[in-house]
Amino acid sequence: MLRISGGKVYDPANGLDGVIKDICVDDSGRIVDSVDGGRTIDATGMIVFPGGVDVHTHVAGGAINFARAMTPEDHRRVQAFIRTKSRRSGLGGMAPTTFATGYLYAGMGFTTVNEAAVPVLSARHTHEELADIPIVDKASLTLMANNEILLDQLEQGEYERAKHVVAWYIWAAKSYGIKAVNPGGVTAWKWGRDAKQLTDSIEGYSRLTPGSIITSLAAICEDLKLPHPIHLHCNNLGAPGNISTTLDTLKHLEGRRAHIAHSQYHAYGGDDWDTMCSETKQLAEYFNTHKNVTTDAGAVLFGDTVTITADGPWQHLLYKLTGRKWGNLDVENETGCGIVPYTYRPSNLVNAVQWASGLELLLLIKDPWQVFLSTDHPNGGCFWRYPEIIQLLMCADFRKECVAKLPDKIKDRISLPEIDREYTLYEIATAMSAGPARALGLHRKGNLGIGCDADIVIYEEDADVVRMFGHPRYVVKNGEIVIEEGDIRETPNGREFIVRPPAPPDLDDFLRPLFEECYTMSFENYPVELDRIEHPHLLDLNDWSCRRDRCQPPQSGSGRFTIGNGRRASKAVEKEFGRPLCRPRDSHCLSQRWKLAPLFLQCSRLLNPVPQGIRDFFDIGRRIAWRDVLRHHFAIGNQIGQCDKPTVHQKPSEEAANGRNPIEYDSGSPPRQ
């Protein structure tokens, strides 16, 4: 049990704006009215937020691994997280490895992440890596807008069959929802083409258009009652003048709910690269008048990164424009992937417009429940740089200092110099936690109400915004203190949220011959087995949290039960999934919570170093002070080489030893406000 007393609580889900109150947590990791006994944290003078939620990131699976493989130079210049008996090794930098990803997210106060692009064909690999990421809970989205079996059904006008196919694929991938990337464009790329116009037929089809794919998938998400609406990467990403395509895309939604991914990359005017300018005012005005859509900004930060996307045509164009390394993958009948390392420079007109556009959208969209903090990690910048974005949102004077250093020719192409708005702490809590949690349909996240998950972050109140949000005093995950006084104390395993939309039982008979004709993998081996998901959390699509009217959860009690070993568990699992519960494979150290000894590492070059010109441009050595931030996160020391003997596999947990693979269900009612 835990009590957090005396802190200023910012809880937008319940309308608390700096209210001084106690937060109590019971032994099950839920927030309750009160507790007797247990530890008390005196948070007097501190800021209490719900744990951060990243609605759009790329942290696991084939694409990010491809990026890691293509950037060995980054591995050489960053310092590793050094392995100890109780902590895993890893690398920071542009594409942090799995264990480092969990440490770095928690080190900023983030407790939930959404992996935004998963091909079903490589979903097993993605789940393996998600299981490796400690502390944070996860969700994932299945790529569907270029799946040829689905597109064939839409071409033939078979909407109901298409809906059932989508439901089957979501469950086959054991994912949480649908991601649509450049609808029809990746399919056309297999013919060496793209799909830039929403009303033009897609290469290889006679009637199917990108616009009809968008409309159909948005409707399918609603008909299947998915907790998260269509997660849409629009056509014509990154190109001058693409604002017209973006606005046309929004009209094709026909008033349905949708989430527009990394909208900064879809808000440009101009006719070519020399005339490119920001058109965020038009896009922000649409959002301000249409409450059915949300977005993550996909903000850009100057410096080195690596771009990864399923939008193969765009990555090939970026390779042509930059001459940098380029990699491309074709994921059979489903999607594709492109990788290009990139450096954003303030002296580059296009990069400066991109930097300004992300901030403009965050500032011009009036409702922070509609626009969320993101960099489309790692595309616009690495997620561990989020405190820099928060500083730019909260400090207008600092923002103007940065704008003043941009070349004069750029300033008349952006709107940022005209904007004086500054985010409040309440708005930051909305954009980084409560808003993205609601958009994902995870109402026990980003919420400090009774019955919610006890994911809590406590910051020291500090005029230095980067220092404040870069190194929280405490981070509580599911009721367990994982960071205390800047040190990682515990690394619990996070859960994976999955859904199972209904599909007719005879759909297998329809799909099997298509697989035999098109896929290199057999139909039986294609779906991800449930027992490969280490800590699944299955959401009931008929529950309150998956209805359209999810803005104000009803007031009621809450309940949850866990299926473990024994006859009751076996019967419940067999009834739900049509087969008995299997023993999990290779469940060793990942299913047991282990204490971390102090995290020793050399900090001098842990993260991707900023080029000197860009360091001078923003005086990052003084203002950003990442070394100081990390020094507060972790206990720093020169302990490299202390672990001479390799660490053997940790012993299996009691659950694993007993052959359990617990499946956690939501049962009953939502949290009370």
Tell me what the mean pLDDT of segment 364-388 comes to. 96
Q: CA-CA distance, 630 to 638, in Å (whole number)?
A: 15
Paired strand residues for 48: 9, 458
Number of CB atoms found within 10 A of residue 561's CB: 13
Instruction: Give 3 or 618, the one with higher predicted confidence.
Output: 3
So what's the pLDDT on residue 515?
Answer: 85
For the chain, the C-alpha Rg in angstroms (whole number) is: 24
DSSP summary character for residue 263: G
So what's the pLDDT on residue 78?
Answer: 79
Lowest average pLDDT, out of 88-92, 109-113, 181-185, goes to 88-92
- How far is residue 42 from each of residues 37, 351, 471, 656, 668, measured CA to CA in Å? 14, 45, 18, 37, 34
- How far is residue 453 from each of residues 488, 545, 549, 664, 667, measured CA to CA in Å? 20, 14, 21, 13, 14
pTM (global) more than 0.75: yes
Asked if residue 455 lies in contact with residue 477, where contact means CB atoms within 8 angstroms, the answer is: yes
DSSP summary character for residue 647: P
Residue located via tokens 């001479």: 644
Number of CB atoms found within 10 A of residue 640's CB: 13
Q: DSSP for 174-231?
A: T-SEEEEESTTHHHHHTTT-----TTSPPTT-SS--HHHHHHHHHHHHHHTT-SS-EE
- How far is residue 416 from each of residues 48, 348, 362, measured CA to CA in Å? 30, 17, 11
So what's the pLDDT on residue 84?
Answer: 63
So what's the pLDDT on residue 87?
Answer: 66
Q: CA-CA distance, 191 to 194, in Å (whole number)?
A: 8
Residue located via tokens 């996070």: 494
Q: CA-CA distance, 301 to 195, in Å (whole number)?
A: 28
Q: Does pLDDT of 668 surpass 70?
A: no
Comparing C-alpha atoms, which of 408, 428, 449 is closest to residue 558?
449
Mean pLDDT of the chain: 81
Asked if residue 34 lies in contact with residue 445, where contact means CB atoms within 8 angstroms, the answer is: no
Asked if residue 117 lies in contact with residue 176, where contact means CB atoms within 8 angstroms, the answer is: no
Tell me what the mean pLDDT of segment 413-423 comes to. 96
Question: Which residues, other chains included, contact 663 with Cβ-Cβ below 8 Å and sequence gap of 6+?
Answer: 530, 536, 537, 538, 562, 563, 573, 581
Over the stretch 190-204, which tens digit does the pLDDT of each residue have?
A: 888 888 899 999 998
So what's the pLDDT on residue 596?
Answer: 27
Asked if residue 303 lies in contact with residue 94, where contact means CB atoms within 8 angstroms, the answer is: no
Number of CB atoms found within 10 A of residue 549's CB: 8
Percent of the chain exceeding pLDDT 70 equals 80
Q: Does pLDDT of 307 surpass 90?
A: no
**What φ, ψ does residue 63 adopt, rounded to 5°?**
-65, -50
Comparing C-alpha atoms, which of 285, 217, 292 is closest to residue 259?
292
**The residue type at 25:** V
> Please, what is the Cα angle at 180 between 66 and 441, to 5 degrees?
105
Q: Does pLDDT of 468 surpass 60?
A: yes
Q: CA-CA distance, 226 to 539, in Å (whole number)?
A: 10
So what's the pLDDT on residue 533?
Answer: 93
Q: CA-CA distance, 221 to 200, in Å (whole number)?
A: 24
Interaxial angle between packed helices 98-106 and 123-132, expressed in degrees from 0 to 180 and rounded to the nearest 10: 50
Residues in the chain: 673
Asked if residue 340 lies in contact with residue 315, where contact means CB atoms within 8 angstroms, the answer is: yes
Asked if residue 351 lies in contact with residue 300, where contact means CB atoms within 8 angstroms, the answer is: yes
Tell me what the mean pLDDT of segment 223-240 comes to. 95
Over the stretch 605-657, which tens digit does the pLDDT of each residue have?
A: 233 344 444 334 333 333 333 333 333 333 322 222 233 333 333 333 444 34
Tell me what the mean pLDDT of segment 83-101 comes to. 81
Lowest average pLDDT, out of 53-67, 282-296, 410-424, goes to 53-67
Over the stretch 517-553, which tens digit does the pLDDT of each residue have?
A: 888 888 898 999 999 999 999 998 876 444 433 333 3
So what's the pLDDT on residue 516?
Answer: 83
Give the pLDDT band (50/70/90) at residue 86.
low
